[in-house]
Chain A
Amino acid sequence: MKFLVCISNVPDTTTKITFTPDNKEFNKAGVQFVINPWDEYALTRAIELKEAQGGGTVTVLNVGEADTEPNIRKALAIGADDAIRVNAAPKDAFFVAEQIANVAKDGGYDVILMGKESIDYNGFQVHGMVGELLGIPTVAPAMKLDMSGNTATLEREIEGGKEIVEVNTPFVASCQQPMCEPRIPNMRGIMTARTKPLKVVEPTGDAPRTEVTEFALPPKKQGVKLIDAENAGELIKLLRNEAKVI
């Protein structure tokens, strides 16, 4: 079975967010980039399923410029077999979805996995767009994924519960915990990743449909008002009379 796992290159979760002076772009200076944490669930689960099937391939796909390659190599070190990088900055969700769909059309993949959303753009959009562009089902967000032959059984999170969904390949799923325990690279993985194939292709498709005109930081909190622990009940009065939330 052929798995395609789409990964984003995102600022580390502890990054202090700042912008370029015109507030139109994220300021990358001095920032450590990582594989999007949600995508790690997709990657590890694809590798686990491939191992359980005793064959097949896991291909990693990233839409990004050359500076994303260290994290693509990391995905190879975790256990993917090969990688494709579409050589373009990820302009918006539609643009990225088109690149993924184009790669998927040529590659004949059975299962296309990605994280629920990226922790930078938080779009939660690409999965559905890819599924619709390819005319195949999407299951999002998926908490569990098992395969039996060409049929997948997934648990899809809904507000307040879950749906058990069965779909046949090919399909798209966006992944989240508790799907698996994301793996980290071991020494052997790091050594073999260096020589695994990483193909670079040029972007195709239409112009993006959205454009960020300005970034801003959220309004700052005024500072914490401390209430004495001995007099804790006072808090409840403040929440009713001052904050007016209860």
Chain B
Amino acid sequence: MAGLLGAFELGANALFAQNEAISVTGRNAANANTEGFSREIVDLESNRHLGITVGLTRRSEDNLLASREREADGNRGRATTLSTALAAMERNLVGRDNLPGNIAELFGSFMELASAPMDDVRRSQVISKAGALVSTFHDVANSASQARSGSDARLVTWAAAATEAAQEIASANRALGTSPDPMLMDNRDKAARKLAEIMGGQARIDTDGKMRFVLPSGEVLVDGDRAVTIQTVVDASNGNHLAVRAVDGQHVGVLTRSLESGKIAGEIAFRDGTAAQTQQNLDRLAYDLAQSVNLVHAAHAGLDGVAGRNLFVPLGSPTGAAAALQLNPTLTANPRLIAAGTVGLGQTDNQGAVALSALKDQLLAGGNTRTFTDEAIFDLTTVGSATKTAQGQLELESARSDVLKSTRDSISGVSVQEEMTHLASYQHAAEAAQRFIATVNSLFDSMLNKL
């Protein structure tokens, strides 16, 4: 037995332990709304001689769950950017102009010209409808092009954010080497999730307690105290769009094609996938349409009896055709030159207009598999289908993230009511310790007074 002096020590230890527990509870309650905070648990250990000792204050966490969360963050990041970018492009392509309708209107105007080849109003209508179609092609080409350059602009932002997150992890690794502060661990986990959301990849804690962040391609983004810089550079081999790379001193790893998840992967999938394909399809459609119309137009004669003129300015190649499409200015200035008739026949011959109108029913688009209007509808529906798929994927990933978030919350989240209960419990224990000390003190006084 340690005697009365030993009892004092017991009481002091108890008071210290409860105060430490109250302090941890207070920190938990204060961070109830802090994103990424893992509640802390103080280990109070019974001790035969000291009564109680305060063990380690540890974070309530599950490394496997954290790993799954990072994976889900990467998948959700990709689905979010892909879905958002696709939905915006779809709205721009479909909302502003009606490409299939304007193609139909051009052929409709040829059809009407066939019923009145000498009618100047019908001829002006052809020019007006062709002009509207040209303008629509410009709009949709612009939308697709802007969608792709918008992705490039966002890539710059994501690259900067990824670099920042990687550096946060590295500096947390450095700091944790000297002090195993739970708050630092929380911050490092938060940065790792942010990095995973942008770049995909996975983090693991090495035996030295430092976090290492690796992409599925094997590229290491954070290794202990070192972090790479994520850069964007102009890629001449990809239409001067941006390539993404990881730079660590002399080592440069090109990531553009190797990223599987994360926001950057979503942007690249959009930019080089659906958006590029859509741009290509629209260019091909504009090229095929201009070529086919020009071929028939040039074979027929205007009201002056002369053949050989094009309705559209001839295009060199399908690349950039939608944006480059232009009406022949000679015809715009003089619609009487629109080739509605046959060479050698009179002005009311309509075989040219009939032949131009007939193009609408021929399978001249989509590699000779679809009509022009069907091809335009198909191209827009393809974007719509991709958007719907991406939205479905986003819903799925969001649901997965939600489940993991709930699981994480059940392990690491702070319940204010729970902490209040703990606080009351620790407060009572502290009061009991105080009373114990007062009692021992009183005994000590009595004993001293009797001496």
Q: Do A and B bind each other?
A: no
Interface residues of B (CB under 8 A from A): none
